[in-house]
């Protein structure tokens, strides 16, 4: 994995999107959204890189040429960044769901404790206050 990023750094690999003048380095990819209705996203860059590999085939008669190593490196890096970003997003969602569920359970515990207190007699409540 680190070899990919080392290779990208050594050749100063950049990622460009059709319709955008900006070029992105491998480290810039971590700041891009997975998808976007407008603008550049990891998905759009990965699709363009795959398309570029498909377009390297010259003709059937002369046999397909191998994809350019830099094009394949672009695809590999983009797919890695996408996989990590999706995993992080899913983990964050799971953690948020767990926090929300824990909060709800804590609210139910508080309600049960209130019900228990409400069921006590006046003398029991006074004794409880005196013991605090």
Write out pLDDT tens, residues 70-110. 889 999 999 999 999 999 999 999 999 999 999 999 999 99
The predicted-structure confidence for 56-68, as pLDDT tens digits, reads as follows 765 555 555 555 7
Strand partners, 16: 23
Model pTM score? 0.73
> Does some domain include residue 115?
no
What is d(CA 107, CA 63) in angstroms, rounded to the nearest whole number?
68
What phi-psi label fits residue 63: left (phi over 0), alpha (psi between -120 and 50 degrees) or beta?
left
- For residue 107, what are the CA distances in angstroms to 20, 99, 102, 111, 113? 50, 12, 9, 6, 10
| Total domain count, the chain | 1
Domain of residue 77, residue span: 2-101
């Amino acid at each position: 994995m680190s070899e990919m990023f080392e290779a990208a750094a050594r050749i100063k690999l950049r990622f460009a999107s059709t319709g955008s003048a900006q070029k992105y380095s491998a480290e810039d990819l971590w700041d891009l959204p997975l998808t976007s209705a407008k603008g550049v996203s990891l998905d759009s860059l990965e699709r363009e890189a795959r398309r570029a590999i498909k377009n390297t085939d010259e003709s059937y008669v002369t046999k397909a040429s191998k994809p350019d190593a830099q094009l394949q490196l672009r695809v590999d890096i983009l797919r890695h960044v996408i996989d990590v970003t999706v995993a992080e997003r899913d983990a964050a969602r799971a953690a948020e769901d767990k926090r929300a569920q824990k909060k709800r359970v804590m609210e139910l515990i508080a309600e049960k404790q209130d019900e228990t207190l409400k069921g006590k007699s006046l003398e029991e409540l006074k004794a409880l206050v005196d013991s605090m």
